[in-house]
Amino acid sequence: MDYQLIKTKRKTISLSVRDGKVIVRAPLRTARREADAFVKKHEDWIARQLEKDAARRRQVEAVPKLTRQEIDDLYARAREYLPDRVRRYADRLGVSYGRITIRCQRSRWGSCSAKRNLNFNCLLMLAPDEVIDAIVVHEVCHLKEMNHSERFYALVLSLYPDYHRWNRWLKDNGRMILDRAAAAE
C-alpha cells in the first residue's frame, strides 16, 4: 500500500487519511520496514478510512457552491446581524469586548482573542438562528473563561440552555455549509 512517511520529533507512529492519501507520521529514527509493518497491521482501518474519505469527497462535489456575490451578501448580513447578538449576550454576562470581525473561513465558526476581539464566520448566516446564538454565546463566554473547562460550559449553559442541542446540529451539518464556500475562494 502506498503511503507518505513524515518523520518528526514525536514518540509514536500515527496514521491519517486525507484526500485519498495515507499519511504515516513517525519518530525521526523509524525505519521504513517498521512503518511498512505498521501500515500492514492497520490495513483494514486504512481501507475503511479511504472509503469514508472517498464518500466525503463525493459529497463535497455534490454540494452547490456559493458564488462570490452570495458570500459578499453573507458578509453584509453577518455585519448587520452578529453585533446585536454579541451585545445582547455580552450585556447579560456583564463583559466587554473589542472588535467584531467577520471572515469566511474553512474550519472555524468563531474565536475570541486574548485582546477580547471576537471573530465570526460569515457562513454562520446559512445556519439556523439557534446555531448562530450557540456560537455567539460560546465566544462571548470566552471573554470570562478563556478555556473549555467545566466552569466555561456551566457559563455557556447558564446563558443558553439549548447550547448542546444546537452545537450538535452544527457538528452534524456544519461541514456541508463550510464546503459550499470552497468554489468562491
Q: Between helices 129-141 and 68-93, what is the axis angle to 10°? A: 50
Do residues 84 and 44 both lie within one domain? no
Number of structural domains in the chain: 2
Do residues 109 and 27 both lie within one domain? no
Do residues 91 and 43 both lie within one domain? no
Do residues 115 and 25 both lie within one domain? no
Do residues 77 and 165 both lie within one domain? yes
Give whole-number Cα distances, 131 to 25, 60, 114, 138, in Å: 36, 22, 24, 11
Residue 108: Cβ within 10 Å count: 12
Cell of 55: 464518500
The residue among 22, 43, 62 that closes a domain is 62
Task: Give the CATH number for residue 170.
Answer: 3.30.2010.10
* One pLDDT digit (tens) per residue for the chain, 185 residues: 899 999 999 999 999 998 899 999 999 999 999 999 999 999 999 999 999 989 878 877 777 889 999 999 999 999 999 999 999 999 999 999 999 999 998 889 999 999 999 999 999 999 999 999 999 999 999 999 999 999 999 999 999 999 999 999 999 889 889 988 865 55
DSSP letter string, 79-127: HHHHHHHHHHHHHHHT-----EEEE--SS-SEEE-TTS-EEEEGGGGGS
Do residues 56 and 74 both lie within one domain? no
Tell me how far apart the alpha carbons of residues 132 and 86 are, in angstroms, rounded to a whole number. Answer: 10
Rg, the chain, Cα only: 21
Do residues 90 and 16 both lie within one domain? no
The residue among 62, 80, 99 that closes a domain is 62
Count Cβ neighbours within 10 Å for each residue of 52-74 and write b for 16 or more, e otherwise.
ebeeeeeeeeebeebeeeebeeb
Q: What is the pTM of this model?
A: 0.72
Do residues 12 and 42 both lie within one domain? yes
Q: What residues make up the domain containing 36? A: 4-62
Residues facing 37 on adjacent strands: none
Do residues 25 and 99 both lie within one domain? no
Contact 161, 100 (CB under 8 A): no
How many Cα atoms sit within 13 Å of 168 on the Cβ side?
4
